[in-house]
Structure 1
Amino acid sequence: MRYFGLFFFLLINFSAIYAQPHHIDSLKFINSAAPIPDHPRILLLAGEENNIKKAILVQRILSEVHKQILLKCDSMLLTKPVERILFGVRLLAKSRECLNRVFHLSYAWRMTHERKYLNRAEQELLAVSNFSDWNPDHYLDVTEMTMAVAIGYDWLYHDLSEKSRSIIKEAIKKKGIATSFDPAYPNYRKWLSVTNNWNQVCNAGRSFGALAVYEDDPALAEKVINRTIASIQIAMIDNGPDGAFAEGYTYWSYGTTFNVMFLNAIEKVFKTDFGLNKIPGFLKTAAYLENMIGPTGKNFNYSDASETSTLQPAMFWFASKLEDPLLLWNERIFLTKEKLAQNTDRLLPALMLWGQNIDIEKISAPKNRIWTGAGKNPVALIRSSWTDPNAIFVGIKGGSPSVTHGHMDAGSFVLEADGIRWAKDFGFQEYTALELKNIDLWANKQNGQRWEIFRYNNFSHNTLTFNDSLQRVDGYAPITNYSENLHFTNAVTDISSIYKGQVKKAQRGIALMDGQYVVVSDEIENLNKDTKVRWVMLTSAKVKLNGNQAELIQNGKKLIISIPNSADISIKTWTTNPPHDYDDPNPDTTLVGFETVIPAGKKETFQVFLIPGSGKIKATNPLPPLKDWPK
């Protein structure tokens, strides 16, 4: 019980911990007198591979995953060991490749005892252990390399030569762990007090190193792990209250997965999670990720995210922990033989650890048609069906550009229908290319250079712009209400503070009507001046204009954009050609929408109907005011 007492003490004193990261080093959680398991001790204890072997015999999909891992390992045998080559300021690609190889090869050795896998894993471990360093100037590089080498050292410990063990152990201690205590490196402690993925990833990697060499220096190992238990809460709390991850889909895949790797590792060794799983919102974040994916298989890629969705091994940990296999509806799809063959996840072997007791082929569809989450970047995700590939899916977000990896996209939405993503988001632009051109990518203050990047400001997102101005970085848009009403499923966000000084008040509601079509309703109260408003939607479809209507055509399917109750408004298009030479090109995309002027002091409502070709529209009468929408 003392673990839980300490945990709640930390919650009460969270602000002090956050403000003073050095205080974290003095906190104690681990019982120093308690014995820890012999190697292997990280994630998969000695003999536990036998449980996986049994599962493979009866679970067809797990058997396919196992075969895919071995095929990847066989292809690795034909390559050279990882080399220390930086791309820009990063060694990260090489660290990730090392983690990919060592985790797969170590798994293959434990499952098959074919010496080719052991020998090659040892080569990889020795190659990176002899690097001059693991690039502590960009600390994620050190983190992923430390995790890679720790897994290999631990899982292969009794089969490595004594000389190899010595070299690898020293690399973990000096190139991995020691750098996190060395003030010579500018980022050596910053990740301890941030709420973003750096906290989760860096803490996890360092702790894997500590667990691997625990018996060699128990005091150091305990210091690292105690520090992680205290620090990682700062990031985990950020999932509250409902599980919405502030940084979006792609960084959920990164930060949350490493968070889960750490939680699973300490539970194996210490037989407790030290109360971390009770942090409000953390276990709920699996439902967030599941609902983020539409019928096309693409995700709602707001912030610095790619719209490509991938298999998430961490979802198997959540499904097992919560005893809720419905969370794996999308993962079941990603595990079809064709999609699995395309998988490049460096942590794929973890799926075998966490999914061994789940009958994947019997997973059924979730029941909810709307999911909402508050927090720093609130989101609402609505769909007409989980099983119909032509279903309507619409997601809308509030939030703030100030969140880590955030864009000026409060009020933005995506839309799918008839198997097509009609309203889309560009997502992120690759960082290194921008940094090499000396773009201050991370300057996210109001006049920061980040907002000059075309893909990051509100001019390229499916939201509103007033008088050609940027959204306010210090603004915040909450989801104010929502409804699961079958005929009027909706969510509303108050985006007023995002446009502070531009309009007096602004609200956006989005509704799925009878599961057939979508309406975007904007209510704007103007200041005492004429204000130009621009409404846009990004699409890859071909656009045909016709007054206050537009016909979108893509892959032989159609969607109508209509503003039926505003006959004086004409729909138009804008180019997506980038304004700067450092912006990525945006081929085959168009911004479609309208511009109009709101007179000084007036209130205006704009209702845009988005009607797929399969939609059966009986009428396009105005919807009631947002205050009267079902709740």
Structure 2
Amino acid sequence: MYKTLVILLFISLCSRLGFGYEKRNLLQKKASKEQVLALVLPDKQWVKYPAYTDRAGWNQLSGKFRATQIKEAEKYLDYEWKVVKATDYLAFEKSGSRTIMEAPFGANSSALSALVLAELCEGQGRFIPQIINGVWVFSEMTSWALSAHLGAYQTSKRALPDYQEHVIDLTAGDIGSLLSWIHYFFKEPFDKVNPVIAKRLKQTLQERVLDTYMQRSDFWWQAFNLKPGGMVNNWNPWCNFNVLTCFLLIEDNPEKLAAGVHRTMASVDEFINYTKTDGACEEGPSYWGHAAGKLYDYLQLLSYATSGRISIFDQPIVKNMGEYIANSYVGDGWVVNFADASAKGGGDAGLIYRYGQAVNSQTMQHFAAYLHQKKSNTVINIGRDLFRALEELRYNAALAKTSPALPAYTTVWYPETEFCYMKNKAGFFFAGKGGFNAESHNHNDVGTFSLYLNKVPVFIDAGVGTYTRQTFSSERYTIWTMQSNYHNLPMINGTPQAFGPDYRSRSVAFDPRKQIFALDIAGSYPESAAVKRWQRSYTLTPNEGLTIQDDFELKKAKTPNQINFLVWQQPDISSSGIIRLAAGDKKVSLTYDPKQFKAQTEAIALDDKRLSQVWGDKIYRLSLIATKTTKKGQYLFKISEAH
């Protein structure tokens, strides 16, 4: 994709919807509500998995996973189901902690998922009593939504569930989907114990998911009331996939089923409309599985339910969205991690393979096989997503037979999202971005870059720490990881970049032949920075390293400029004009004009587990402080392997 482009100049516009939003409505063009009524297969004929009583079918489907899934669930045979207390919910208001409520909730859902898959594999009824206990626990809960999400949709604006208002968020949808599958597979064995169990479960799903989805249009992720400049992110396909699952498995009335399915189609269309044609995930690889990955799940489920008659897998944007995850892989588990994404990952091999098959992407299928070969366990850790677990069982044999390979490219350019990836023969991998400072999971990072040598991070993006109340509040940009002065960017007149849709790149240009990525980042700084132009260009030379050139003009020169770099290893600044950094068993040098700058370093202690499990106990900020205060000038930095 975009490998053979000549120089492409892309001028950013100020309106978010004007910039990326395109009213494609691909799903609604495929079928009206009346057509959906005729196309959805009746009586759940679309389900691809054996009935619970089909032991031969389950023995074949579970294959090598059977024994380990059963063993995994045996530890829950005596599981004590946890109560999520009122004070656990209220802790979010008191301390900002999400985990106090989420920990017991997550423990219960993990136990129930494991028990369900094990019972399907074994089929002896051994796990049924505990499955019933789990179903009862969740049926008795006032809400399945998280404390962090309740305030936005309850009249009270509080974090304690209100029994008068049902809320569908990510986890409420996940639990609804899981419980819908449980009802489908185990209604008969439940009825043998007591018919009230399945009846209560179905009634609960009807009220909390089906009726709520049809009656409410104010959930932001539905995007039914999308305003110009409004955001549609991973919540949309994620929640809609869960709602679609519930409708297909629970709703018996054909007219109501068709109405519900078509309503999800209209909602998911808004996610596709919002996504740029190049398919890049502005939230980063960590969120791909919840964004494009969940879109795939949704589209696959819709295709199953209509025997392939409602499908848009042939649309280029859907393929582009899929291949982004393969292109963003650096190697050895490292990925390009703009925004809140982690630098570690790679993705779910099974999901990537299935997506790749659906859109006929050899790149995705071979990349999935590459990830798969590194896995040695035979346990499917399903979380709350039984659909993905079932699909994993169906596709695993085909994935295992696929030859592994990493994407082969020299450059990849996402012209609308303004992501640029470049590789050279010296082993460097460069990733840079333009964009704007109101993207989903945004960091103020227009113009930043990451650089790797032989798959080892050198110049980095820290990512994000553990989510708290502060993370998604008006205090977000008081957190250092969100600020441009802790990215590989300049502080201009002592001022970092600002948050908002108007703070964006200008005059973005990419030349794949010369491997040059350039943009003016002045528009991402507030008026107080007094910057007229700050043209930054990145050039990756074929056999050497990276050259960074800053060409700037200020309206006023108030304080010396500060060029910041975030690096993994401690910089050696003992030599004037050259900085040395470790990169695995290699060394990297950054050269600069010692007449222009004085170097200093700052160790950043990482006491947050989400950060330290990626980078260790500290990372470093390297700052080059200008020796002169000037309104106009040029800076030049060269990064290469040190010999």
* Alignment equivalent of 1:503, drawn from 531, 544, 550: 531
Match of 1:234 in 2: 270
- Residue matched to 1:72: 72
Q: Does the 8 A contact of 2:238 with 2:290 survive in 1?
A: yes
Displacement of 1:244: 0.6
Q: TM-score scaled to structure 2, two decimals?
A: 0.77
1:408 shift after superposition: 0.5
**Aligned mate of 1:28, from 20, 30, 33:** 33
Distance 2:396 2:375 in 1: 20
1:265 is displaced (CA, Å) by 1.3
In the alignment, which residue of structure 1 is the partner of 2:406? Answer: 365
3-state DSSP class of the match of 1:170? Answer: helix
TM-score (norm 1): 0.78
Q: Per-residue deviation at 1:342?
A: 9.2
| Change in 2 beyond 3 A, CA 1:371/1:207 | same
Equivalent of 1:168, from 184, 196, 201? 201
**One-letter amino acid of the counterpart of residue 517, structure 2:** A
**Residue 127 of structure 1 pairs with residue 132 of structure 2:** no
Partners of 2:36 and 2:380 lie apart in 1 by 40
C-alpha displacement of 1:396: 0.9
Residue 602 of structure 2 corresponds to 574
The equivalent position to 2:464 in structure 1, one of 428, 446, 451, is 428
Q: Does 1:536 align with 2:595?
A: no
Whole-angstrom distance in 2 between the partners of 1:67 and 1:489 = 51
1:385-400 matches, cutoff 5 A:
391-400=427-436
- Three-state SS of the structure 2 residue aligned to 1:524 is strand
Cα distance between partner residues in 2 of 1:371 and 1:518:
17
Aligned position for 2:623: 593
* 2:321 maps to which of 279, 282, 285: 285
For 2:338, the equivalent position in structure 1 comes to 302
| Pairs aligned (count) | 567
Cα distance change, pair 539–71 in 1 and its aligned pair in 2 (3 A): farther
In the alignment, the residues of structure 2 paired with residue 239 and residue 180 of structure 1 have an alpha-carbon distance, to the nearest angstrom, of 23
Q: Counterpart of 1:552? A: 581
| Equivalent in the alignment of 1:455 | 481
Alignment partners' CA distance in 1, 2:460 and 2:22? 38
Contact 1:320–1:355 (CA under 8 A) maintained in structure 2 = no
Query: For the structure 1 residues 35 and 206, does the alpha-carbon distance in structure 2 shift closer, same or farther, using more than 3 Å as the test?
Result: closer
The reply to whether residue 116 of structure 1 matches residue 143 of structure 2 is no
- How far did residue 111 of structure 1 move? 4.3
Matches of 1:52 and 1:518 in 2, distance apart?
54
TM-superposed CA distance for 1:592, in Å, is: 0.8
Range that drifts further, 160-169 or 174-183? 174-183
CA distance in 1, matches of 2:82, 2:174: 13
SS of the aligned residue for 1:592 comes to strand
Distance 1:224 1:95 in 2: 28
* Aligned residues of 2:313 and 2:359 also touching (Cα < 8 A): no
Q: From the superposition, tell whether residues 277 and 396 of structure 1 become closer, same or farther in structure 2 (CA, over 3 Å).
A: same
Q: Does 1:605 align with 2:634?
A: yes
> Counterpart of 2:257?
221
421-430 or 473-482, which deviates more: 473-482
Q: Using a 3 Å threshold, how does the CA distance of structure 1 residues 291 and 95 change in structure 2: closer, same or farther?
A: farther
Q: Sequence identity of aligned pairs in percent? A: 15
How big is the shift at 1:381?
Answer: 1.8
What secondary structure is seen at the aligned counterpart in 2 of 1:284? helix
What is the aligned partner in structure 1 of residue 246 from structure 2? 209
Moved more, 78-87 or 546-555: 78-87
* Superposed displacement of residue 66, structure 1: 6.3
Q: Is the alpha carbon distance of 1:67 and 1:406 closer, same or farther for their aligned partners in structure 2, counting shifts above 3 Å?
A: farther
Question: How far apart, in 1, do the equivalents of 2:111 and 2:34 lie?
Answer: 33
TM-aligned CA deviation for residue 588 of structure 1: 1.8
Report if aligned partners of 1:295, 1:393 keep a CA contact under 8 Å in 2: no
Cα distance, 1:55–1:372 mapped onto 2, change above 3 Å: farther
* 8 Å CA contact 2:601, 2:621 repeated in 1: yes
Spell out the pairing of 1:428-507 with structure 2 (5 A cutoff).
428-432=464-468, 435=469, 439=470, 441-443=471-473, 448-472=474-498, 473=500, 474-477=502-505, 480-485=508-513, 488-499=514-525, 501=527, 502-507=530-535
Partner residue of 2:178 out of 140, 145, 148 = 148
Q: Write the letter of the residue equivalent to 2:41.
A: I
Q: Deviations over 1:410-432 (max 9, x none)?
A: 11111221442111222112222
Amino acid at match of 2:179: V
In the TM superposition, residue 374 of structure 1 has moved relative to its aligned partner by 3.2
The answer to whether structure 1 residue 353 and structure 2 residue 394 are counterparts is yes
How many Å apart are 1:458 and its aligned residue? 0.8
SS at match of 1:409: coil
Give yes or no for contact 1:39–1:157 (8 Å, CA) kept in 2: no
What are structure 1's unaligned runs of at least 5 residues? 1-13, 58-62, 615-631
Please give the alpha-carbon distance, in whole angstroms, between the structure 2 residues aligned to 1:478 and 1:42: 50
Cα displacement (A) at 1:149: 1.0
Note if 1:525 corresponds to 2:553.
yes
- 1:132 CA displacement: 2.6
Secondary structure of the equivalent of 2:598?
coil
Once the two structures are TM-superposed, the CA of residue 607 in structure 1 deviates from its matched residue by 2.5
For the 8 Å contact 2:421–2:430, the answer to whether it is kept is yes
- The residue type equivalent to 1:222 in the other structure is A
Offset, 1:464? 1.8
Counterparts in 2 of 1:132 and 1:56: CA distance versus 1, 3 Å: closer
Give the root-mean-square deviation of aligned CA atoms: 3.9
Tell me the distance in 2 between the aligned counterparts of 1:366 and 1:584: 28
Q: 2:404, 2:59 → 1: CA distance?
A: 21
| Conservation of the 8 A alpha-carbon contact between 2:113 and 2:382 | no
Higher relative contact order (CA 8 A, sep 6+): 2
Give the 5 Å matches for 1:406-417: 406-417=442-453
Q: State the distance in 2 between where 1:223 and 1:539 align.
A: 53
Contact preservation (8 Å) 1:95, 1:142: no
Whichever residue aligns with residue 195 of structure 1, its letter is V
**Partner amino acid, structure 2, of 1:606:** Y
Q: How many Å separate the matches in 2 of 1:148 and 1:401?
A: 36
8 Å CA contact 2:369, 2:403 repeated in 1:
no
SS at match of 1:431: coil
Contact 2:485/2:491, CA 8 A, preserved across alignment: yes
Q: Give, as a single letter, the amino acid of the residue that structure 1 aligns with 2:582.
A: I
Aligned-partner SS, 1:504: strand
Aligned to 2:540: 512
- The counterpart of 2:352, out of the listed 315, 329, 346, is 315
1:561 matched to 2:571? The reply is: no
Structure 2 residue aligned with 1:195? 232
Q: What secondary structure does 2:571 align onto? A: strand
SS at match of 2:421: strand
Q: Does structure 1 conserve the Cα–Cα contact (< 8 Å) formed by 2:247 and 2:260?
A: yes
The residue number in structure 2 matching 1:378 is 418
Tell me if the contact between 2:597 and 2:627 (Cα under 8 Å) persists in the aligned partners: no
Separation in 2, partners of 1:356, 1:188: 39
